[in-house]
Chains A and B, each alone.
Chain A
Amino acid sequence: MDFYFGMAQLIGVHTLLGLSAYVVLLTGQVSMAQAGFFAIGAYLAGMLTVLAGWHIIPAMLLAAVASALVATVVGFPALRVKGLMLVVATLAFGEAVRIFWFNFDYQIAKGNIQVGPLGGEGFKQIRYFPENGWSTADVALFIWAWVIAAMVALWWMDRSRVGSVLRAVGEDELAAQSVGINLTAVKVSAMGIGGFIAGLGGAIYAHYTTHIEHLNFGVVLATFAIAYPILGGLSSVIGVLIAVIFIQGFLVEVLRFMGDWRNLLFGALIVLAMNVRPDGLFDARAMRTLRRLFGTRDA
Chain B
Amino acid sequence: MLELHGLSKHFGGVRAVDDLSLTVNQGEIFGLIGPNGSGKSTTVNLVCGVFPTTSGAVLFEGQDITDAPSHRVVAAGITRTFQNIRLFGDLTVWQNLWVAQNSAEERSRGWFGRWLGGGQSGRGDADELLKFAGLEHRSGELARNLAFGEQRRLEMARALAARPKLLLLDEPAAGMNAEEVSQLADRIRALRRYGMTILLVEHVMELVMGVTDRIAVLNFGQKIAEGAPAEIREDPAVRTAYLGTADA
How far is it, in angstroms, between the C-alpha of A164 and the C-alpha of B99 when the chains are bound?
6
Quote the shortest CB–CB distance from B178 to chain A (angstroms): 28
13 further interface pairs, Cβ-Cβ under 8 Å (given A162-B115, A174-B50, A179-B159)? A161-B116, A175-B82, A175-B88, A176-B88, A178-B80, A178-B86, A179-B158, A179-B161, A180-B71, A181-B71, A181-B102, A182-B69, A299-B119
Whether a CB of chain B sits under 8 angstroms from the CB of A157 is yes
Q: With A180-B75, A181-B102, A298-B140 in contact, do A175 and B87 touch (Cβ < 8 Å)? A: yes
How far is it, in angstroms, between the C-alpha of A113 and the C-alpha of B22 when the chains are bound?
79
Q: With A159-B119, A161-B121 in contact, do A179 and B162 touch (Cβ < 8 Å)? A: yes
Quote the shortest CB–CB distance from B51 to chain A (angstroms): 10
Whether a CB of chain A sits under 8 angstroms from the CB of B74 is yes
Whether a CB of chain A sits under 8 angstroms from the CB of B79 is yes
Within 8 A of A (CB), among B70-98: 70-71, 74-75, 79-80, 82, 86-92, 95-96, 98
B88 touches A180 (CB 8 A): no
- Mask, A176-200, CB within 8 Å of B = 1, is 1111111100000000000000000
How far is it, in angstroms, between the C-alpha of A180 and the C-alpha of B77 when the chains are bound?
10
Q: With A172-B86, A175-B87, A175-B88 in contact, do A180 and B162 touch (Cβ < 8 Å)? A: yes
How far is it, in angstroms, between the C-alpha of A175 and the C-alpha of B87 when the chains are bound?
7
B116 touches A164 (CB 8 A): no
Quote the shortest CB–CB distance from B89 to chain A (angstroms): 7
**A–B Cβ pairs within 8 angstroms, 19 of them:** A160-B118, A161-B98, A161-B117, A162-B115, A165-B99, A167-B90, A168-B96, A171-B90, A172-B86, A172-B88, A178-B48, A178-B50, A178-B79, A178-B82, A179-B102, A180-B74, A180-B100, A181-B102, A183-B71
Among A160, A162, A298, find the residue whose CB has the most chain B CB atoms closer than 10 A.
A160
Task: Name A178's contact: one of B70, B75, B96, B119 (CB within 8 Å).
Answer: B70
Q: What secondary structure prevails in chain B residues at the interface with A?
A: loop
B119: chain A residues at CB < 8 Å are: 159, 299
How far is it, in angstroms, between the C-alpha of A157 and the C-alpha of B118 when the chains are bound?
9
How far is it, in angstroms, between the C-alpha of A171 and the C-alpha of B90 when the chains are bound?
8
Whether a CB of chain A sits under 8 angstroms from the CB of B114 is yes
How far is it, in angstroms, between the C-alpha of A174 and the C-alpha of B41 when the chains are bound?
14
How far is it, in angstroms, between the C-alpha of A174 and the C-alpha of B90 when the chains are bound?
16
A160: chain B residues at CB < 8 Å are: 115-118
A177 touches B116 (CB 8 A): no
How far is it, in angstroms, between the C-alpha of A182 and the C-alpha of B49 when the chains are bound?
12
A159 touches B118 (CB 8 A): yes
Contacts between the two chains (Cβ within 8 Å), count: 85
A161: chain B residues at CB < 8 Å are: 98-99, 114-117, 121-122
How far is it, in angstroms, between the C-alpha of A179 and the C-alpha of B80 when the chains are bound?
8
How far is it, in angstroms, between the C-alpha of A276 and the C-alpha of B161 when the chains are bound?
38
Among B71, B98, B115, find the residue whose CB has the most chain A CB atoms closer than 10 A.
B71
How far is it, in angstroms, between the C-alpha of A132 and the C-alpha of B69 when the chains are bound?
54
Quote the shortest CB–CB distance from B55 to chain A (angstroms): 23
How far is it, in angstroms, between the C-alpha of A159 and the C-alpha of B69 when the chains are bound?
28
B89: chain A residues at CB < 8 Å are: 171
